[in-house]
């Protein structure tokens, strides 16, 4: 079975600091995708960023970037200049192939709290 590991159940970070959320995964698939989602206390799942396994460059979306190290099977999320509104649960997820058509396997999440 696919396994996604997020080793930080909770993190406290000062506002304006950069944050790195860890994610490692298990796979023998040649092609796959990696996703990060944010879930604020209101409960909705918000897509943040995607990395394809064959993408040559690390993905970036505004303040979010993905530190993709394929050989180490890691896909850490980096949030630059954290804001109070970044406080939320963050989930790493993996698809079986490049897209998400067969569904995603999620990690257990990291609860990030940004302190003023």
Partner 1 sequence: DAGITQSPRHKVTETGTPVTLRCHQTENHRYMYWYRQDPGHGLRLIHYSYGVKDTDKGEVSDGYSVSRSKTEDFLLTLESATSSQTSVYFCAISDSRRSNEQFFGPGTRLTVL
- Using rule CB under 8 A, residue 98 touches partner 1: yes
Write out the DSSP string of 42-87.
T---EEEEEEETT-SS--EETTEEEEEETTTTEEEEEESS--GGG-
Decide if 94 contacts 73 (C-beta within 8 A).
Answer: no
* C-alpha closest to that of 115 among 11, 9, 44: 11
- Using rule CB under 8 A, residue 91 touches partner 1: yes
CB of 14 to partner 1, least distance (A): 27
Of 19, 21, 25, 33, which one interacts with partner 1 (CB under 8 A)?
33
Of 18, 20, 47, 113, which one interacts with partner 1 (CB under 8 A)?
47
Q: Which residue ranges make up the site for partner 1 (CB under 8 A)? A: 1, 4, 33, 35, 37, 43-45, 47, 50, 52, 91, 93, 97-109
């Amino acid at each position: 079975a696919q396994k996604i590991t997020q080793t930080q159940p909770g993190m406290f970070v000062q506002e304006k600091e950069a944050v790195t959320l860890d994610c490692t995964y298990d796979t023998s698939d040649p092609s796959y995708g990696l996703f990060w989602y944010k879930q604020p206390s209101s409960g909705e799942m918000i897509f943040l960023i995607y990395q394809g396994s064959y993408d040559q460059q690390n993905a970036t979306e505004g303040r979010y970037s993905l530190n993709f190290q394929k050989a180490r099977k890691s896909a850490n999320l980096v949030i630059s200049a954290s804001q109070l509104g970044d406080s939320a649960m963050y989930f790493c997820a993996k698809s079986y192939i490049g897209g998400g058509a067969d569904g995603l396997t999620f990690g257990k999440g990291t609860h990030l709290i940004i302190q003023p």
